[in-house]
Amino acid sequence: MDSPIGPLGVELDAGTVIGVRFGASSAWAGDAGAGHRVLEDLAGYFAGTLTDFRVPFELRGGSEFERAVWGQIAAIPYGEMRTYGAIATALGDPGAARAVGTACNRNPVPVIVPCHRVVGAGGKLVGFGGGLPRKRQLLELEARVALERAWG
């Protein structure tokens, strides 16, 4: 799909999102209804009307540590951020901030599992598989929507 952050490709298996790729064309086979639901959710997210994805997703592959990082990322609320160090600490290994960054880069379903919400110490924008301009756009979108909702 075309999006404000460029083309996104979505990979589905039996109606479940198993991959999101930046700059790629969508690739789903068979279940057009599931593909339509994913596009609706993504369109709603980018329009600022959807803050929690409804489509089912599955995090395939990855090491035990990577899956634990992805679980932490998935729990970050819309419009909020966590540092790589905070996630490492939450996983019981405060020195693993770089490993958390590597796991973020390997996230198979970015945007849906919001690795863009993970930042460096002091809120510094570092590392993002989709590039820092996309990360900034996603964070700015969420900040704007969260502010609009708070002030109604």
**Confidence band of 151 (pLDDT split at 50, 70, 90):** confident
Average pLDDT over residues 73-78: 96
Q: Is 132 helix (H, G, I), strand (E, B) or coil?
A: helix
For the segment(s) 64-151, the CATH number from 2.40.40.20, 1.10.10.10, 3.30.1180.20, 3.30.70.600 is 1.10.10.10
Residue 27 has what pLDDT?
56
Give 43-73 pLDDT, tens digit per residue.
Answer: 999 999 999 999 999 999 999 999 999 999 9
CA triplet 141, 144, 148: central angle to 5 degrees? 140
Average pLDDT over residues 10-17: 90
Helices (H), 13-106: 32-47, 64-74, 84-90, 97-105
Q: Which of 76, 112, 115, 145 is an active site residue? A: 115
Alpha carbons 144 and 146: distance in angstroms, whole number: 6
Residue 25 has what pLDDT?
60
pLDDT above 70 as % of the chain? 95
The reply to whether 104 belongs to the active site is no
Residue 14 has what pLDDT?
87
- Of the listed ranges 7-16, 21-30, 71-80, 98-107, the one predicted with least confidence: 21-30
Alpha carbons 65 and 5: distance in angstroms, whole number: 29
Give 77-118 pLDDT, tens digit per residue.
Answer: 999 999 999 999 999 999 999 999 999 999 999 999 999 999
Q: Domain coordinates of the chain in residue numbers? A: 64-151
Alpha carbons 62 and 127: distance in angstroms, whole number: 19
